Structure 1
């Protein structure tokens, strides 16, 4: 990537903050904006007053937000990106959006002279800190090729899927597996404990057998220590599985496993623990 190109990051939650921090460490010229200014202080980079202010000072904007409503607000709300001239700007949206909303974002960017790339990511805080996310991309291919060096700083595996909404649909399908694996592993750990086996030993045995997976390997310490500070929250997986249900409805396909898993994560919401890491689904299984 041309080192003179300036990059802006909007959204400094757990993942967005880690992406921004990693890019700054790689020497990217970075400006950030977050609705909660306190989350910007430790990055040591310029902080914009608003999305409008940010886009006036950068060439590329990376968005990482909770959902499509938040993306819409950042784009079109008061002092949003499109309240300024966006001619020639590139918007890289790493949010896991609703597949039915991304078309709006492509169109709105085009109306304002910008190019929108749909770039949901697979992985959370740890791979983001290492530049080892997997990035799914839809949108204009020449623009993708233009920003590929920047995306390669963020991710070790890039998949260009071309047609708008395909990247988002694939991300939702991936999260069917992610949420289901996490729920199955957490239930197995809780059952092992109930049977009288040490929790740590249950986890080690699962990792040596049928439970061996990237999901359990990533969450083993959280489960062993019952330490559920969020890398990827239950609220996020619940939202994603809801979007997936909408996708299946649009395809006239049932969603068997995913619908059940979604309702399991709904319990974390009713218990008031959905802001914890999604591995905290273990607490639901331990209780019942």
Structure 2
């Protein structure tokens, strides 16, 4: 199938590569053109050109401001004829701002599917992400076969905004698990237990989790090259706090965990993998 793809960060490039492995043809655009290196795809000059070449266009960007720019910039998506097209947005958006993207696409005759994912670079490259989708049933039905190339688990929450809210809630658990594991490992080392033994014991004990499975090697080697950055988890937890405020609900662990990742940002670790929070506890 002829697809479009906009946004080739760590996650976006992994998803694009997976779609190519599944024999789809891609037209791609990224603000920094060098990010397209290594992909067997046609590089477009603008988002509008991507939309002209594809019936389904994927977006995977840092935040809602970046998505808004891709829609509205000179030769952005809205400059193309979007009638009948599907826009699949894997960006983790702000729960309020994502609603505007549904409206923009509807006004242009397209269907917008907010589709944040659970998982990062490795599962993306293997097609084993979990994909949360909100948007019209018609669009989801048309897009489902392609989404199945990206995600092992697909969940359709039709009402606009729900997929984004669920992604933020998932990242409350994700960030909390990561911080607790990091503190546990650093604490155990501090009282004389070797890191490898700590990780082995946590793996069959209280730390057993998808997070430990995914981050064990990084914690062991202290290679914190990014799969999912501190800047991303911090941004998501900030959006979650906005959701808690709007919902008039307390957010106890989320507030603490957000500030831990904020400390990582202040320490110059914005673009390291979020497992690098371990170093904050190790420094103690």
Fold shared, TM-score > 0.5 on shorter chain: yes
1:259 equivalent in alignment to 2:255 = yes
Question: Does 2:229 match 1:233?
Answer: yes
Tell me the secondary structure at the aligned position of residue 28 of structure 2: strand
1:44 corresponds in structure 2 to 40
Aligned pair partner of 1:242 in 225, 238, 242: 238
Q: 1:8 and 1:208 mapped to 2: Cα distance?
A: 42
Partner of 1:12: 8
How many angstroms apart in 2 are the aligned matches of 1:142 and 1:85?
19
Q: CA deviation at 1:110?
A: 1.2
Distance 1:108 1:69 in 2: 14
1:36, 1:128 → 2: CA distance?
Answer: 21
Query: 1:111 maps to what in 2?
Result: 107
**Offset at 1:78?**
1.8
Does 2:240 correspond to 1:209?
no
Whole-Å separation in 1 of the counterparts to 2:21 and 2:110: 27
3-state SS of the aligned residue for 1:156?
Answer: strand
Report how many aligned residue pairs link the two structures: 284
Q: How does 1:57-206 map to 2 (within 5 A)?
A: 57-206=53-202
What does residue range 22-37 of structure 1 map to in structure 2 within 5 Å?
22-37=18-33
Q: Extract unaligned runs of 5+ from structure 1.
A: none
C-alpha separation in 2, matches of 1:200 and 1:73: 45
Q: Which runs of 5+ in 2 are unaligned?
A: none
Aligned equivalents of 1:30, 1:77: Cα separation in 2 = 22
Q: Distance in 1 between matches of 2:75 and 2:278?
A: 41
Q: Find the aligned partners of 2:110 and 2:72 in 1 and give their Cα distance.
A: 13
Structure 1 runs (4+) deviating above 4 angstroms are: none
* Superimposed CA distance per residue, residues 225-269 of structure 1 (whole angstroms, 9 cap, x where no aligned partner): 000010000100000000000011111101000000000000111
SS of structure 1 residue aligned to 2:154: strand
